[in-house]
Amino acid sequence: MSIAKYSRPHLADCIPDLVAFARGERKASLFIKGGSLVNVVSGEILYDTSVAVVGTRIAYVGPFVEGMTGPETIVVDAQGKYIAPGLLDGHCHIESSMLSVTQFANAVLPLGTTGGFFDPHEISNVLGLPGLRIMLDEARQTPMAAYMQVASCVPATSSEFETSGAEFGPEEVAEALSWGPDMIALGEVMNFPGVVFGDPKMIGEIQATLRAGKLVDGHYTWPSNDPRLSAYAAAGVTGCHESITKEDAAARVRLGIYAKLRRGSAWHDVEATIKAHTEMGLDTRRMMLVSDDRICDSIKEEGHMNFIVRHAIQQGVKPVTAFQMATLNTAERFGVARDVGSVTPGSIADIILLDGHLADVNVVMTIAAGQVVAENGKMTIGLEPFQYPEYAVNSVKLAKPLTASDFAIEAPVSSGTVKARVVEVIENNVETNEVLRDVPVEEGKVVLTPDSGLSKMALFERHGKTGGSAIGLAGNIGFNVPAAISMTVAHDSHNVLVIGNDDELMANAANAVIGMQGGIAVATANGIVQLPLRLAGLMSTEPYETVVEQMKQISSALIQAGCTMNYAFMTLSLIALVVIPTLHISDTGLIRVTESGFERVPLFVQ
């Protein structure tokens, strides 16, 4: 196990110092004086409360007492401010921010997120266990309480339906969970049909997790009134973030599954799901607020967990309850409430100070493991960059550059029209619709007309394995001028995805991404806008602010081409996520999710 730069010693090792403080033999290393404590344990606000920290943990919570501080004590005046536990993200993919772990920490710590439960299944699908290890080791060098999960779905379905860079089974899961206590759980089990229908690999991974004394996270999208949800719960799944209605959230809570209410950049589920509490009256203690996927520019523009807590309050949740849903509930779900999730004696000193009304969630100071790490929206410490191995920044392996001819769609007729399946994307939704359209054919090839509203989509295997590719049609993209976008962020196998309405521009965008060794490129008549993502083709190695500006240029180029969906890139990157209903594309073809599992379907309907 690597040694963390920002140490979080076990409580057992801290007890001598904590009780020495109680005897008056130690002074506080950090003392927060006279604020209003958001007590998420008792569900109340305690006014004129002070907090004494010795080293990394809290030694005292209560009224101010003379003699607790010494000449070396850092004293923080909290009068007129709220004191709250640092916010925890109960389900998050750091890769979706397109930031490295270090830069993610730089982005979210000033916003009050002091920790999270991170599922690195994106980098795991590209680099396997070494990629997961990179994320873990880099996280240990930041001040965050970063609990990692081992990806359950590598690949998301099976090699029959898609080609990823690695494959995990029960042995890999068991190995990763042995890396330390911060390897906390099995990541979201997206192959829920595999669980219900007894797939040996999925069942074996869950068994390995439970035998290691760890938890299993879920991802279930069948109807919540389907009796198979009980089978999913019976298999040991105790948390799920795929609720999109109040009924979904209620069904999970009633079966003992923590309902993770999501507000990502493009997945806006809290407004509907929180009604399980505000309208149906269900207890929130098995409800959590999570981000799932928040891209770097939405973190900059909206925020992170501070934004999600504020949003929940705006939906009618009491402020203290909303804070519970992003602190204590999350810590209890993962079994780490002794360390994080509350401002109580013995807990690690992950604390935030807030100004103004509590409902505004205006974070003005972040303390992580007893250190002031951010103040007034800025980091007060510098984090050293992580050194990545060569294989992690050179992971795009295509045999040759692509040409316009690679994007021609051969039709089963020489001319006229042919009925084809179209993957219709839905704004702010992870799912797609399957629609049938009559498309024109000339000289044996599909022709996109300006008024069709259709785009081509193609996927090229990039892990150096099969060299396979597939092509199809997409709807609701919005391009109204010749344009194309290519990316190596193509959930979850992260092959090279290309979407566009002009074959030449599609080739240009794809080759730009290949040449960058991963990233995003938008090609139009005005040229190519690029965002390099060298780390596994998923994350930038550049500073947070640089990546935000580059992402804004990508978004602007998409808007100018007519693609105006909210945080459009997030939705487009899911066109290859074959485990989600209804129809998606992989390097093996079009994959449909059915009531009984997955099936490959042809582009053309004969």
Q: CA–CA separation, 186 vs 216, rounded Å?
A: 5
Q: Beta strand 215-218 with 183-189: parallel, antiparallel or unpaired?
A: parallel
Residue 548: predicted pLDDT: 97
pLDDT band at 23 (very low <50, low <70, confident <90, very high): very high
Provide mean pLDDT across the span 166-177.
Answer: 97
pLDDT band at 2 (very low <50, low <70, confident <90, very high): very low
CA-to-CA dists, residue 397 to 229, 461, 465, 495, angstroms:
40, 8, 9, 10
Parse the chain into domains and list their residue ranges.
84-387, 392-601
399: nearest Cα among 499, 467, 339, 343: 467
pLDDT digit string, tens, across residues 140-169: 999 999 999 999 999 988 889 999 999 999
Residue 594: predicted pLDDT: 84
Q: Mean pLDDT across the chain, nearest whole number?
A: 96
pLDDT digit string, tens, across residues 256-305: 999 999 999 988 999 999 999 999 999 999 999 999 999 999 999 999 99
Q: pTM to 2 decimals?
A: 0.95
State how far Cα 263 lies from the chain centre.
11
Is residue 3 scored above 50 in pLDDT? no
For residues 6 and 483, which has the higher predicted lDDT (pLDDT)? 483
Among the four given CATH numbers 3.20.20.140, 3.50.50.60, 3.10.150.10, 3.40.50.12280, the one describing domain 84-387: 3.20.20.140
Cβ contact 538:519 at 8 Å: no
pLDDT band at 580 (very low <50, low <70, confident <90, very high): confident
Tokens of 337: 């409430």
Provide mean pLDDT across the span 475-499.
Answer: 97
Provide mean pLDDT across the span 324-338.
Answer: 98
Residue 596: predicted pLDDT: 78
Provide mean pLDDT across the span 512-528.
Answer: 97
Provide mean pLDDT across the span 22-34.
Answer: 97
Question: How many of the other CB atoms lie within 10 Å of CB of 332?
Answer: 17
Is residue 22 scored above 50 in pLDDT? yes
Q: Which residue stretches of 178-266 are H helix?
A: 192-196, 200-211, 228-234, 246-254
Residue 5: predicted pLDDT: 64
Residue 157: predicted pLDDT: 82
pLDDT digit string, tens, across residues 201-240: 999 999 999 999 999 999 998 899 999 999 999 999 999 9
Q: What percent of the chain lies above the pLDDT cut of 70?
A: 99
171: nearest Cα among 226, 231, 128: 128
